[in-house]
Structure 1
Amino acid sequence: MADYTLFCAPDTYAMSAHAVLEEIGADYDVHWINIFSDNPDPAFLAASPHCRTPALASPDGTVFETGAVALYLAERHPEANLVIEPGDARRGAFLQWFHYLASTLQPDVIIQYHPEFYHTEPDRQAALKAASMKRLAGVLDTLEAALENGPYFFGDQITVPDFILAMQSVWDVIFPNGDITAYPNIARHRDAVCARPSVQRMQEQHRAEAARRKS
């Protein structure tokens, strides 16, 4: 039996946690699920009360929320060196970017994909997306500056926030006019993360599952 089971849907926020599983070389299974289902998978519902991906079944119980799953895995496998540890002068910056990606970037990314979560009227959805994109432009400017000495947040050391950012920046829709090239540091960051064998293995699994669902 595998050490971990990842509840996952293709091309979702689960990619961050999935990439970390690959990066740490974990023994894991993927339980592919359908999101936004009126009849959610019972095991998934038990692991994730809002039926959001990812969720993780682990030796310590279940964990849900992207950042929580990724950080839990990284701390459980310190040999992978994906965490800036307490006592390190960079620890505050590590926590800052970890939470910034969840509390400031992610909400506006979600709006670009699902304005219907907030409004049912198409005109109000369009207005919400436009306002959100203005906010995203400022957030992306902040991240662009943070990655000046990259490719990663902490130079040549990849850490959990890098996986969380890159698995959102792969979606061009989050950039003004769908153009990442206006943010060369973020583009360099995305390229560096996506070049890692762990991320490539994860992406291949997601492509295969997406193709299976279309067949």
Structure 2
Amino acid sequence: MADLVFYTNPQSRGQTVRWMLEEVGAPYDTEILDYASTMKAEPYLSINPMGKVPAIKHKGKVVTEVAAICCYLADAFPEANLAPPPSDRADYYRWIFFTSGPVEAAFSNKAAGWEPTPERQRMFGYGNYDLAINTLEKALTGREYIAADHFTAADLFVGANVNFMLAFNLLEARPTFVDYARRMTDRDAYRRARDIDSQLVAKAQQPQPA
């Protein structure tokens, strides 16, 4: 068994971690979990008591949450050059966690058909959907990469989220977003990850023998 184990379902946020793993290039084992059964039972609940994927175990240590996994893998495998030097990580951390916090909360609530009323916006870290999305657009405007002079885990994480929101019409197809998502996903590692998960989805949908 590899030192690195990836727990996922191919129809989950695990797609982003799969992409990160393919960028890293280290060998890893994959455990596919089912939403209704294995994800909600032992032994997986000992990995993540939330009963959610993705998660990784690396050298016996467990990491959950997509943003945390991406940051961890960038540090654990520095030869992949997926993080700037520590002294240059201000934008790197800023935009990874802005996307995992305010942006995800904003689009998730909007997708569920709910947004905070003006008098309650101070209670929420993102204020309102337009504020979060406009801030992200401003951060991407005029930049080739969001946090360095080369592709990093920040571009992978932000790019994956922008690409997802565009695909499901959760984000207005503004030129800045469309161009950024296209450029960030134009990578061999992204295509490998997409193909692996697509094949797993197709296999799961095949009729099972009686």
Structure 2: which amino acid aligns with 1:206? D
What do residues 59-114 of structure 1 show as CA deviations (whole Å, max 9, x unaligned)? 141111111111111101111111122223xx22222112111111122333355x
Q: Is 2:93 the counterpart of 1:102?
A: no
- CA distance in structure 1 between the aligned counterparts of 2:106 and 2:53, rounded to whole angstroms: 17
TM superposition shift of 1:6 = 0.8
2:198 is aligned with 1:199: no
Q: Normalized per residue, which structure has more helix?
A: 1
Corresponding residue pairs, total: 196
Gapped regions of structure 1 (runs ≥ 5): 116-125
Distance in 2 (alpha carbons) for counterparts of 1:15 and 1:188:
21
1:66-105 map, 5 Å: 66-88=66-88, 91-105=89-103
TM-score by length of 2: 0.82
Give the 3-state SS of the residue equivalent to 2:35 in structure 1: coil
Q: 2: distance between equivalents of 1:157 and 1:81?
A: 9
Q: CA deviation at 1:30?
A: 1.5
Superposed displacement of residue 129, structure 1: 6.0
The Cα RMSD (Å) is 2.5
Aligned 8 A contact 1:6 1:29 in 2:
yes
Partner Cα distance (1:9, 1:129) in 2: 29
Task: Verify the 8 A CA contact 1:84 1:94 in the aligned structure 2.
Answer: yes
What is the CA–CA distance in structure 2 between the aligned matches of 1:112 and 1:214, rounded to whole Å?
Answer: 30
1:47 to 1:112, Cα distance in 2 relative to 1, 3 A: farther
2:133 paired with 1:140: yes
Distance 1:92 1:38, change over 3 A: same
Unaligned stretches of 5+ in structure 2? 122-126
